[in-house]
Every structure is written in structure tokens, then in C-alpha cells.
Amino acid sequence: MSKGKIIVISAPSGCGKSTIINSILDKESFDLSFSVSATNRAPRQGEEDGVHYHFLSTEKFRDAVAAGEFIEWEEVYPGRYYGTLRSEVDRIINSGHNVILDIDVRGALNVKKIYGNTARTIFIMPPSIGELRHRLEGRGTDSPEVIDTRIDRAEYEISLAPDFDIQIVNDVLDTAVSETTTAIKDFLQ
Ligand code: 5GP
């Protein structure tokens, strides 16, 4: 198994990305460590600073941008910044492990541009926009307006899917998990 490689996983909201990643990391003994991103959004219930994210004020986030501390950063939602810290990725790679990044689509493509063949980008997509809408409505957590915004964003993100190294359709969860597992295994071997 190789060291110092970067797996980047992106998906539109509601495509089961976290479920797929967690299920793989629970089952497989891949030598993969999560890079903890920085964000200026507030912690959600149960989220810990330094574990789920490095939670920064907007000012501190901007300072970090100016100081060149990010490999990439994006305004994923209006006023909400997220960035991959160079110090995190370097720490994982220098300690002889591989990195897994769960970042947005534009961030993923930037990481690929920077790291080339050292990075493999995986895009998880819904079977169709209709099915994604059905899932988001089924969750019952979002208003119709929020669902419309998510769908618009998903359409934009899906338009960038061909630029990823690998595209996986999450129709049947077990199949998506096993296809993602195979993709990671192939890359790390
Ligand atoms: P959430 O606020 O739900 O934790 O994350 C929102 C979005 O931000 C997700 O799509 C997540 O993948 C993305 N994200 C998290 N960290 C980073 C990062 O470091 N860079 C970029 N570009 N996106 C990120």
C-alpha cells in the first residue's frame, strides 16, 4: 500500500456521501486520515473544534487566506467559507499516511489541478435529479425553497462531474459503497 496519496470525494447535498465514506472507513482498514478543514460557519450540535472542523471567525479565516495557509478554499454558500489547510495535509502525508478530503466540487477540482496523479477525485451522484428531489423531500428537513436551491446547485455540480477521475451513481447504497471501495483500493495499491 502506498503512502502520501490524496482521495477527494465530492457530491451534491443529499447524495449519501457521508454515509458512503463512513461505511467504508468503518469496514476497511485503509490507511486514510481525514484532513480537518477550516470554516467560518458556526459549529452544529455535537461538532468539536479541531475534530469536525477548525472553526474560525471570518476575520481569522481571511487572515489564513492572506497568509497562504490554504491549499484551496471556497465560498461554498454565501458568506460561508471552507478551506483545506496546507498544515493538515502536510502533517498527514509527512507522517506516512494517505489523506481523504470531503470537499465541495470546485475545491476537489482545484486539488486535482495542484496534485495531479497524487490525487484521485471521486464524484458521487444521484441516479437522476428527479430522484434527488424525491430524497430531499423525503428527508422532510428542508423547505421547498431550500430544496429548489439545493437542486439548482446539484445541477451545476453534476455538470462538473465529467472532470472527476471517477463517477459513482448512488442508486443502490451497497453497490455505491462497493464501487467506491474498489476505486480507493485500486488507487492506494
Ligand atoms: P457542511 O457545512 O455541511 O459541513 O459542509 C458544506 C460543504 O462544504 C460540503 O459540500 C463539504 O464537502 C464542503 N467542504 C468542507 N470542507 C471543505 C474544504 O476544505 N474546502 C472546500 N472547497 N469545501 C469544503
pLDDT tens string 12-46: 988 989 999 999 988 888 899 999 999 999 999 99
Question: Where do the domains of the chain lie, and which CATH numbers do they carry?
Answer: 6-188 (3.40.50.300)
Residue nearest to atom 3 of ligand 1 (CA): 13
Sheet holding 70-77, edge to edge: 54-55, 38-39, 80-85, 70-77
The per-residue pLDDT for 139 is 86
Cell digits of residue 47: 461538532
For cell 477527494, what's the residue?
8
The confidence band for 104, taking pLDDT boundaries of 50, 70 and 90, is very high
The gap from C-alpha 36 to its chain's centroid, in whole angstroms, comes to: 11
pLDDT greater at residue 104 or residue 142: 104
Task: Determine the Cα angle at 9 with ends 7 and 10, to 5°.
Answer: 155
Q: Ligand 1 centroid to 104 CA: how many Å?
A: 5
- For the segment 138-163, what is each residue's pLDDT rounded down to a tens digit? 988 889 999 999 999 999 999 999 99
Any ligand 1 atom below 6 A from CB of 83: yes
The DSSP output letter for 163 is: G
pLDDT band at 1 (very low <50, low <70, confident <90, very high): low
Q: Which of 34, 56, 82, 153 to mutate to test the pocket of ligand 1 (most atoms within 8 A of CB)?
A: 82
Q: Where are the beta strands (DSSP E) in the chain?
A: 6-10, 32-34, 38-39, 54-55, 70-77, 80-85, 98-102, 119-125, 166-169
Residue 107 beta carbon below 6 angstroms from any ligand 1 atom: yes
- Asked if residue 98 lies in contact with residue 30, where contact means CB atoms within 8 angstroms, the answer is yes
**What is the rounded CA–CA span in Å between residue 23 and residue 110?**
26
Give 66-89 pLDDT, tens digit per residue.
999 999 999 998 899 999 999 999
**CB contact at 8 A, 11 and 161:** no
Mutate which of 104, 141, 146 to test ligand 1's pocket (most atoms within 8 Å of Cβ)? 104
Residues 38/41/42/47 CA torsion (nearest 10 deg): -50
DSSP annotation of 155 reads H
Residue whose Cα lies nearest atom 16 of ligand 1: it is 103
